[in-house]
């Protein structure tokens, strides 16, 4: 008997191609939207967390200016190399300090040119920003002290200027400065803000100051806190020390600020998570809309289906046989829609993560949840009208309008 009922259900699906198609479509769209949003969002969050891990442990940045973002104000008092020395000397629990200044310059090699961030610093900077020299070598103390015309290239700059060619030992021009390429950095990828961390040229700070900016200023101090020390405490001590060195009275505001890179990264993570949650909510709405679409189709066809139920009952079908048929129809359509939705979601997730340049991370639970939800929607809305009709006297079902 079950076999016969299954045949009846499949016949009904095949006969009503449009109705079946619309039902499936509603489920496909809902399921695919939810899975795609959650998977892509999850992948983006995971990537940010990866980037935090790669950023270097316990990195603080001391920047001139009052608050984050206000650094562009004119009249900011910049740092000197002495500040870096003082910090390293006066504050405990500090692993390393790197004074950093940057300029955006055009790098030229042969007929290739590329505008990039030229960073004046030292080997410590390379270490605490979790970089490493892949080919070639770091700066020597002598080169750092004397401000030699040497540089280390990020992967992006190397590729733009040299392509596949060997760069170490060649000379590139940075504005008027001609400098020798000592080494190439290990690629690092994008940072949490989506900036290319390999689009960089590192030269000794002295070289930048003397040959490019023409002053002794230092833009940012990178401070790496020892592993077991509290970042908050160091942050406070840094604040006290800098106020002292800048002769600020207690009533004055700080004219510098100390940023914890981890904090920023965490903020970004939570922003991404919030965004993911929002997108997922939008997706959930689309799942719901898909569900309502299914409901509509079912309700529109309820007159015809009620008559059909009346006919079946009149011919001698039992209530439960009619219901079983409708249940099978609903389950088959919903699962088919759900499965197609999952396939579509996987394809679009892989595509989207590739476009957004984030790693694809498979999320099994959202697949199961959205599949079950859509199946429930399909089954409930496919089944409920039948449930009502199958209880009627056949003649009332046949007369239904």
The site for other proteins (CB under 8 A) is made up of 1, 4, 7-8, 11, 15-16, 304, 307-308, 310-321, 391, 393-396, 398
* Min dist. Cβ of residue 292 to other proteins (A): 26
Going along 26-92, which residue ranges are E strands? 59-64
* Min dist. Cβ of residue 321 to other proteins (A): 7
* Min dist. Cβ of residue 369 to other proteins (A): 36
| C-beta closer to other proteins: residue 141 or 401 | 401
| C-beta closer to other proteins: residue 7 or 132 | 7
Residue 143, exposed/middle/buried by CB under 10 A (0-12, 13-18, 19+)?
buried
| C-beta closer to other proteins: residue 8 or 52 | 8
Q: Distances from the Cα of 345 to the Cαs of 52, 204, 328, in angstroms?
A: 28, 50, 25
| C-beta closer to other proteins: residue 1 or 72 | 1
Count of helix runs (H) and strand runs (E) in the chain:
13, 10
Q: CA-based angle 103:104:107, to the nearest 5? A: 115
Residue 18, Ramachandran bin (φ over 0: left; ψ between -120 and 50: alpha; else beta): alpha
| C-beta closer to other proteins: residue 344 or 398 | 398
Paired strand residues for 183: 136, 152
Pick from 36, 9, 12, 122: nearest CA to 363 = 36
Cβ proximity of 281 and 57 under 8 Å? no
Torsion of CA 170, 173, 177, 181, to 10 degrees: -30
* Min dist. Cβ of residue 399 to other proteins (A): 10
Pick from 385, 263, 397: nearest CA to 326 = 385
| C-beta closer to other proteins: residue 360 or 400 | 400
* Min dist. Cβ of residue 400 to other proteins (A): 12
Torsion of CA 328, 334, 335, 340, to 10 degrees: 150
* Min dist. Cβ of residue 317 to other proteins (A): 5
| C-beta closer to other proteins: residue 263 or 304 | 304
Q: Distances from the Cα of 315 to the Cαs of 201, 225, 311, in angstroms?
A: 85, 84, 6
| C-beta closer to other proteins: residue 16 or 93 | 16
Q: CA-based angle 126:131:135, to the nearest 5? A: 95
* Min dist. Cβ of residue 396 to other proteins (A): 8
* Min dist. Cβ of residue 17 to other proteins (A): 9
């Amino acid at each position: 008997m079950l076999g016969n009922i299954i045949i009846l259900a499949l016949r009904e699906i095949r006969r009503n191609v449009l109705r079946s198609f619309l039902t499936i479509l509603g489920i496909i769209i809902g399921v695919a939207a939810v899975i795609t949003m959650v998977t892509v969002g999850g992948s983006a969050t995971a990537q940010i967390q990866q980037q935090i891990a790669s950023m270097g442990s316990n990195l603080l940045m001391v920047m001139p200016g009052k608050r984050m973002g206000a650094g562009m104000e004119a009249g900011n008092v910049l740092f000197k190399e002495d500040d870096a020395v003082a910090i390293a000397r006066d504050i405990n629990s500090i692993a390393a300090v790197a004074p950093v200044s940057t300029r955006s310059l055009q790098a030229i090699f042969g007929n290739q040119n590329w505008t990039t961030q030229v960073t004046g610093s030292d080997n410590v900077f390379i270490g605490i920003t979790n970089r490493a020299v892949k080919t070639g070598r770091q700066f020597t103390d002598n080169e750092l002290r004397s401000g030699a015309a040497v540089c280390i290239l990020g992967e992006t700059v190397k590729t733009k200027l040299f392509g596949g060619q060997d760069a170490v030992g060649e000379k590139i021009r940075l504005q008027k400065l001609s400098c020798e390429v000592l080494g190439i950095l290990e690629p690092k990828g994008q940072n949490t803000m989506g900036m290319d961390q390999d689009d960089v040229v590192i030269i000794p700070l002295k070289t930048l100051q003397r040959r490019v900016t023409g002053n002794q200023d230092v833009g940012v101090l990178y401070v790496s806190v020892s592993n077991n020390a509290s970042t908050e405490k160091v942050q406070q001590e840094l604040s006290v020390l800098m106020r002292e060195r800048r002769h600020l009275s207690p009533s004055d505001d700080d004219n510098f600020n100390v940023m914890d890179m981890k904090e920023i990264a965490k903020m970004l993570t939570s922003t991404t998570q919030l965004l993911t949650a929002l997108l997922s909510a939008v997706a959930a709405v689309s799942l719901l809309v898909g569900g309502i679409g299914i409901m509509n189709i079912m309700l529109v066809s309820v007159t015809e289906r009620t008559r059909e139920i009346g006919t079946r009952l009149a011919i001698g079908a039992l209530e439960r046989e009619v219901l079983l048929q409708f249940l099978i129809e609903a389950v088959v359509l919903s699962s088919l829609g759900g499965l197609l939705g999952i396939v579509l979601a996987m394809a679009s997730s892989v595509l989207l993560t590739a476009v957004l340049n984030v790693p694809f991370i498979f999320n099994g639970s959202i697949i199961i949840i959205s599949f079950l939800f859509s199946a429930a929607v399909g089954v409930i809305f496919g089944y409920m009208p039948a449930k009502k009709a199958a209880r009627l006297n056949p003649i009332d079902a046949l007369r239904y309008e």
